[in-house]
Structure 1
């Protein structure tokens, strides 16, 4: 077997010095590295608004906001200036028993925006760390309140919650875990809200939602309520392609969590900060969690930052005597990222981006739904500026593609073809094959139309090859 390390670039392929350096030294995330030994990697050189520009000079519409991150668009001078101003004043200081001004101000701003009594903000460097923090604080909270056996977490099948050992244990994607097992013990799964492939009540969305919520109660009872600390759910599940909660779903989950004294964690790493037209998506879907995890859009990607936001009930035992939370991160609450996030939130308010999403989400959905006339498109689903297009082999039966077809479609063809045609988005097959779309919140009908046209042309081309 030839190893990646022994594969040499083909003599006929020309690598620039920068591309050669990337080939020889850069280990990219979630990426097969072998192909880059034989062909140059694409390099994004600069960006402006909703557009990316690569090292070949091609304009590419950013249909994924980088990675569900760049809410206010690329190239915002005031965000770059905010970072420079704070870095010049105070570039770094840890949030370990001593505070900085932007970190306090951002915590105050987030607490004011969060629902109910979610007033306590613990900063992290990103989303996976926020989920890791939520599980750790849930475990310790119950130890401090006399229920030390409560340590398990219920999440949903196929859900993604991060890559650290704890967050990965909460993640419901077996293939992502195999290389790293054994994982942190305590993660268990219940059904998700994929209505397109509903195993029960496929003709009644409300009944299906109640059925799915009741599977969470079933999981709690199966594990024992005295051992379950938290239920961790995304408002709209990312992995699998935008599973939207049915009406009444989260209200029933809230009832279940209250019944068994289980914390409800709303994992809003993707969904917060306008992706669904509200600062926190739980507000849109009508439930109040005990903890919110968030990151990505908080700074629109102009600085790495995340947070766990807990309610006063959870904070109360940590305010007693010598109790403390023995957990933290070097870059959690970085003052530069916090300063940038404050200006980012100013842009949201000044430009009315939440309302813009609410005003335009129906148009985005209806534009994408035009693709349902293609034989390869089985379902178009989503909410706000977060949509998924599920691809099928047979529309009538909802038959999906086999392993070889998925390999070609999702791993080999679509990523490059969509980029070559001028659209950056996310082909994914962690469940069934989907194309995910989440453009910057400054996008409008012109961008929706361009997305639809590029996806249509690309799918028409690939249909002929399958």
Structure 2
């Protein structure tokens, strides 16, 4: 009997452009984008042969640049020797060496490394370890987490509960209970604080104490913050902000988790961004740039204090991942960190971040650009309807520009970056750390041309 495939219904858009692939965070009804077929240095090449500047390092990942054959060779060598063995009660040499390397690089006594395969898993692990830590130390009610409005911390059910983006959560509720939000550090939108950035930082930090007191200190386990908040558009910490947060966490015996999935491994010019911004967390979560994207890997790094109760007899952390600490991923991460040292990538970011920021700030002469903010190689350009009043784009304008015009126009003009409206509408740029002034100028010129066209559409 011949099998007949049903056609699309009135409510089912055809997905033929995507074939059998289900892309992430993408409308299946949208036309398929050009295939990316290869990459070299800071540039991507699509199926039509076009060269596109990778202005987002893939997804804040490819720190050392594309096409590094020395990294690919390390992967092949490790796969030939030992391609896989689980970390469930066993260890492999690359995993042990990478744990030592990360512990040595982490500030203070952050010295115990739990491997995952990505950032969301690292955040999930941090919440679980915080809950169990307080149970083991006689405070079983401490389970809640404070995070910031608009912040993104991952897609697993726990990490999503920590995420401060209601629209991203609605389709999956009810989520893990216990996530609570405080204001973020978007100073551009904090008009009531005038020009006093430090006072604004103190106000924002004090909202964390307010939330802890409201929920009850005996119920709050952790505060989870990014050094520079991604969603909302590269929201940097005001002076004194993290110092005050650390004081609050110490006062109420709450663990401070530095979510550095994006910010670690050179994005801000240091191995871990908490060092640059002057605070000591109890837990670091990281991923992305650890391997420069050559293999999936992430980690949760804890202090000696946090791991201490887990060292007791007959105590285990009943949590893990099949591919956590994968030998090939660990080996290429070690080689990636070797590249960082050999090529001085952290120093390169510190030396060039001022020039990058200055180049992007040239865009402030455009009527559609309200603010340019960021740090290191992680910047955002906020789009507005009216510069004087800072009036933002409405829903229809965001739909038309952020999801419609800008992604394709920027790509067609030779730049891959991130138009985003989780919070206020922005265009984010975070190029590979190998980039310099030539790439900064190219980014600015393409943004200038594309945003000038975008301004005519609102």
Q: 1:247 aligns with which of 239, 252, 257?
A: 239
- Structure 2: how far apart are the matches of 1:464 and 1:409? 11
Is the CA contact 1:4–1:34 (under 8 Å) kept in the aligned structure 2? no
Q: Identify the residue that residue 307 of structure 1 maps to in structure 2.
A: 299
1:8 CA displacement: 4.3
1:142 CA displacement: 0.1
Is the CA contact 2:205–2:241 (under 8 Å) kept in the aligned structure 1? yes
Residue 77 (structure 1) aligned with residue 72 (structure 2)? no
Q: 2:384 aligns with which of 376, 388, 392?
A: 392
Q: Identify the residue that residue 7 of structure 1 maps to in structure 2.
A: 13
- Residues 145-182 of structure 1: CA distance to partner in whole angstroms, max 9, x if unpaired? 00000000000000000000000000000000000000
- Structure 2: how far apart are the matches of 1:373 and 1:201? 25
1:6 CA displacement: 4.2
TM-score (norm 1): 0.95
Q: Identify the residue that residue 343 of structure 1 maps to in structure 2.
A: 335
Q: 1:158 aligns with which of 150, 162, 171?
A: 150
1:4 CA displacement: 8.2
Q: Identify the residue that residue 12 of structure 1 maps to in structure 2.
A: none
Q: 2:81 aligns with which of 89, 100, 105?
A: 89
Q: Identify the residue that residue 403 of structure 1 maps to in structure 2.
A: 395
SS of the aligned residue for 2:199 comes to helix
Is the CA contact 1:131–1:167 (under 8 Å) kept in the aligned structure 2? yes
Residue 33 (structure 1) aligned with residue 33 (structure 2)? no
1:304 CA displacement: 0.1
| Alignment map for 1:321-400 (pairs within 5 Å) | 321-400=313-392
| Alignment map for 1:405-444 (pairs within 5 Å) | 405-444=397-436
Q: Identify the residue that residue 120 of structure 2 maps to in structure 1.
A: 128
- Residues 262-295 of structure 1: CA distance to partner in whole angstroms, max 9, x if unpaired? 0000000000000000000000000000000000
Q: 2:46 aligns with which of 54, 64, 70?
A: 54
- Structure 1: how far apart are the matches of 2:338 and 2:283? 24
1:465 CA displacement: 2.0
Is the CA contact 1:200–1:211 (under 8 Å) kept in the aligned structure 2? no
Q: Identify the residue that residue 193 of structure 1 maps to in structure 2.
A: 185
Give the unaligned 5+ runs of structure 2. Answer: 1-7
Q: Identify the residue that residue 24 of structure 1 maps to in structure 2.
A: 19
- Structure 2: how far apart are the matches of 1:354 and 1:381? 20
Give the unaligned 5+ runs of structure 1. Answer: 10-19
Q: Identify the residue that residue 14 of structure 1 maps to in structure 2.
A: none
Residue 280 to residue 431, structure 1, CA distance change in 2 (3 Å): same
Is the CA contact 1:231–1:265 (under 8 Å) kept in the aligned structure 2? yes
Is the CA contact 1:242–1:382 (under 8 Å) kept in the aligned structure 2? yes
SS of the aligned residue for 2:232 comes to coil
Is the CA contact 2:79–2:328 (under 8 Å) kept in the aligned structure 1? yes
Residue 183 (structure 1) aligned with residue 175 (structure 2)? yes
SS of the aligned residue for 1:25 comes to coil
Is the CA contact 1:200–1:208 (under 8 Å) kept in the aligned structure 2? no
1:462 CA displacement: 1.3
SS of the aligned residue for 1:35 comes to coil
Q: Identify the residue that residue 131 of structure 2 maps to in structure 1.
A: 139
- Structure 2: how far apart are the matches of 1:403 and 1:267? 30
Q: Identify the residue that residue 42 of structure 1 maps to in structure 2.
A: 34
Is the CA contact 1:391–1:400 (under 8 Å) kept in the aligned structure 2? yes
- Structure 2: how far apart are the matches of 1:352 and 1:372? 31
Aligned structure 1 segments of 4 or more residues deviating by more than 3 angstroms: 2-9
- Structure 2: how far apart are the matches of 1:115 and 1:182? 37
Is the CA contact 2:14–2:29 (under 8 Å) kept in the aligned structure 1? no
1:41 CA displacement: 2.8
Is the CA contact 1:4–1:33 (under 8 Å) kept in the aligned structure 2? no
Q: Identify the residue that residue 106 of structure 2 maps to in structure 1.
A: 114
Q: 1:318 aligns with which of 310, 317, 321?
A: 310
| Alignment map for 1:270-281 (pairs within 5 Å) | 270-281=262-273
Q: Identify the residue that residue 279 of structure 2 maps to in structure 1.
A: 287
- Residues 293-350 of structure 1: CA distance to partner in whole angstroms, max 9, x if unpaired? 0000000000000000000001100000100100000000000000000000000000
How many residues are treated as equivalent by the alignment? 451
- Structure 2: how far apart are the matches of 1:122 and 1:405? 44
1:194 CA displacement: 0.2
1:203 CA displacement: 1.4
- Structure 2: how far apart are the matches of 1:463 and 1:428? 16
Residue 199 to residue 173, structure 1, CA distance change in 2 (3 Å): farther
